A and B are shown apart, each in its own frame.
Chain A
Amino acid sequence: MTTEPSPGPEAQFRAFLAEGRLMLQRSRTTGRYVFFPRLAVPGSGERDLEWVEASGFGTVYATTVTRQRPNPDGSSADYNIALIDLDEGVRMMSRVEGLPPSEVRIGMRVKARIATIDGAAQVVFDPA
């Protein structure tokens, strides 16, 4: 018996994202959310993971401004990198847009948005 090749959790996540949906894995029995996408809950090993839509809301856990040489036109090329704790209890690296990078604060409420970065759908955040 052969099984139909099926994409792994990472490819499934990215396919959802390309459709404009931020989906997270959740264990049916424990209710625990998992990010980044995996085959089983890290540490405890439950494999009963289902995809559920994320609320998109989160809180800035840590933040930095990557300093760069200015752009040729003199404008700032500095950019934000932040760790965001989603309300579902998982953390991801991302960036907060819509305000100067140095004004992103720990504890700030943010909302996910799917943006295209280097040709691929990625999650970024705006102030909520």
Chain B
Amino acid sequence: MARALRGKVAVVGIGTAGTGEAPGRSAIELLAEAALAALDDAGLSLAEVDGLFTATSVHAFPTLSVGEYLGIRPRFFDGTNVGGASFEAHLLHAAIALEAGFCDVALIAYGSNQRTAGGKFVSFSEPHPWEAPYKPRVPLTAYALAASRHMHVYGTTREMLAEVAVAARAWANLNPQAFARGPLTIEDVLASRMVSDPLTVLDCCLVTDGAAACVLTRADRARDLRKPPVYFLGAAGAQWHRAISAMPDLTITAAAESGPRALAHAGVSISEVNLAMLYDAFTITTILFLEDLGFCPKGEGGRFVQGGAIAPGGKLAVNTNGGGLSCVHPGMYGMFLIVEAVTQLRGEAGERQVRPCDVALVHGNGGTLSSQVTAILGSARTL
């Protein structure tokens, strides 16, 4: 399995739509706009898409709805929904399908209008029979419980959590597309409204609208297209539980499994990673994934991020778009991780460009720390 798909397929187009607020537009309209933008970016036509990968928070049968809307009759389709990490799973599944010849042009797409449609996190996720009687706020309660445990076991502090939000904002301030911009201090985070101890409202991701998409082809075709190909090097997923009450250890996520497998698959070591796009639904998730993926030892994530270490100019570039905390978080955010990684690997990130940027680790999270999917992307220099 090691290196089986390394460099065989590439992301050739990316697109976004409605990042932030998109009044008057439906989820599928936003999704379609992002998909068409990704195809334009690649210089490919809609008629060439024969692989469709999608999941949303409002469509029970997402490939059917999106296929119908865009008029795609895919030869291969996958509507895997594992929450926010779905799109990293789609990336792996698309790579497999392309390499095996089940499709030639794969489209991955997501869209949501949750902010303007009601302003609340939207999900048709079913209530868990063994948790619902206690009225958890899903997913917030779960991440607050994980944070409480991490603080208890490892001495992580609210200031360390706040540092994650402050770093995300500093990156957002370099990204014209980010929704939440402006100064933010650790004190601001600590003083903001507590929503579920120990997490304040500024420890939580945004509730925005937004859509994102990407297009993949096999490497031979990718080289002839409009933009520099961003190569798929490897990916892996892991899932250990559904509900937080069934998570074996709230301080260790299945990223501890998906990360090493993805890196082995890609033939890349963690020290070679120039950019880490880590799903930051809450400040605690960035800390957990820094540890579980191997950027620092278990328990040291809080201390690792201190002193601006993951902010612009720090020791590791993390969530350079501003993340789910300050850029965009339309319910499921995983597709935006891929878009930012591709933007950086192409060298198109403007003021926030990471240099050098040849290897990006993209880590998706879904549910309540439930699904973990890690993908490694690289520039042509990595082949």
Interface centre among A36, A81, A107 (most CB of B within 10 A): A81
Q: List 9 A-B contacts (CB under 8 A).
A: A62-B149, A62-B152, A66-B137, A79-B135, A81-B135, A91-B246, A93-B245, A106-B148, A117-B134
Residues of B within 8 A of A65 (CB): 194, 196-197
For the complex, is A94 an interface residue (Cβ under 8 Å from B)?
A: yes
Report the minimum CB–CB distance from A111 to chain B (whole Å): 17
Contacts A10-B129, A107-B152 supplied; 8 other A-B pairs, CB < 8 Å? A36-B129, A62-B145, A63-B145, A65-B196, A67-B193, A67-B195, A83-B245, A122-B133
Interface residues of B (CB under 8 A from A): 129-131, 133-137, 141, 144-146, 148-149, 152, 193-198, 243-246, 250
For the complex, is A92 an interface residue (Cβ under 8 Å from B)?
A: yes
Contact of B148 among A64, A92, A120 (CB under 8 A): A64
Scan residues 94-126 of chain A and give those whose CB is less than 8 A from a CB of chain B.
94-95, 102, 106-107, 117-118, 120, 122
Report the minimum CB–CB distance from A90 to chain B (whole Å): 10
Residues of A within 8 A of B144 (CB): 64
CA distance A83 to B145 in the complex (A): 8
In the bound complex, do residue B130 and residue A93 qualify as a contact, i.e. CB atoms below 8 Å apart? yes
CA distance A82 to B136 in the complex (A): 10
In the bound complex, do residue A118 and residue B141 qualify as a contact, i.e. CB atoms below 8 Å apart? no
CA distance A92 to B132 in the complex (A): 12
Residues of B within 8 A of A67 (CB): 193-197
CA distance A61 to B197 in the complex (A): 15
Report the minimum CB–CB distance from B202 to chain A (whole Å): 14
Residues of B within 8 A of A117 (CB): 133-134
In the bound complex, do residue B149 and residue A93 qualify as a contact, i.e. CB atoms below 8 Å apart? no
Report the minimum CB–CB distance from B342 to chain A (whole Å): 36
CA distance A66 to B246 in the complex (A): 20
CA distance A61 to B198 in the complex (A): 15
In the bound complex, do residue B148 and residue A63 qualify as a contact, i.e. CB atoms below 8 Å apart? yes
Q: Which residue of A lies closest to B245 (CB)?
A: A93
Given A93-B131, A93-B136, A102-B197, the answer on whether A66 and B141 have CB atoms closer than 8 Å is yes
CA distance A50 to B264 in the complex (A): 43
Interface centre among A36, A62, A95 (most CB of B within 10 A): A62
Q: Which residue of A lies closest to B137 (CB)?
A: A66
Contact of A81 among B129, B130, B145, B243 (CB under 8 A): B145
Residues of B within 8 A of A92 (CB): 130, 245
In the bound complex, do residue B196 and residue A93 qualify as a contact, i.e. CB atoms below 8 Å apart? no
Report the minimum CB–CB distance from B127 to chain A (whole Å): 12
Report the minimum CB–CB distance from B319 to chain A (whole Å): 24
Report the minimum CB–CB distance from B16 to chain A (whole Å): 33
Report the minimum CB–CB distance from A79 to chain B (whole Å): 7
In the bound complex, do residue B141 and residue A61 qualify as a contact, i.e. CB atoms below 8 Å apart? no
Q: Which residue of A lies closest to B148 (CB)?
A: A62
In the bound complex, do residue B135 and residue A83 qualify as a contact, i.e. CB atoms below 8 Å apart? no
Interface string of A23-65 (1 = CB under 8 A from B): 0000000000000100000000000000000000000011111
Contact of B130 among A36, A106, A107, A120 (CB under 8 A): A36
Residues of B within 8 A of A10 (CB): 129
Residues of A within 8 A of B145 (CB): 62-64, 81-83
CA distance A67 to B144 in the complex (A): 12
In the bound complex, do residue A91 and residue B197 qualify as a contact, i.e. CB atoms below 8 Å apart? no
CA distance A93 to B170 in the complex (A): 37
CA distance A89 to B141 in the complex (A): 23
In the bound complex, do residue A83 and residue B196 qualify as a contact, i.e. CB atoms below 8 Å apart? no
Residues of B within 8 A of A94 (CB): 134
Report the minimum CB–CB distance from A60 to chain B (whole Å): 10
Q: Which residue of B lies closest to A36 (CB)?
A: B130
Report, nearest first, the 8 A-B pairs whose CB atoms are least far apart. Answer: A64-B144, A62-B145, A93-B245, A65-B197, A62-B149, A106-B152, A93-B131, A36-B130
Residues of B within 8 A of A79 (CB): 135
Residues of A within 8 A of B244 (CB): 83, 93
CA distance A117 to B141 in the complex (A): 19
CA distance A62 to B196 in the complex (A): 12
In the bound complex, do residue B152 and residue A93 qualify as a contact, i.e. CB atoms below 8 Å apart? no
CA distance A63 to B141 in the complex (A): 9
CA distance A98 to B133 in the complex (A): 18
Residues of A within 8 A of B246 (CB): 36, 91
Residues of A within 8 A of B141 (CB): 64, 66, 81
Residues of B within 8 A of A83 (CB): 145, 244-245, 250
Residues of B within 8 A of A82 (CB): 145
Report the minimum CB–CB distance from A118 to chain B (whole Å): 7
CA distance A65 to B56 in the complex (A): 30
Interface centre among B146, B196, B197 (most CB of A within 10 A): B197
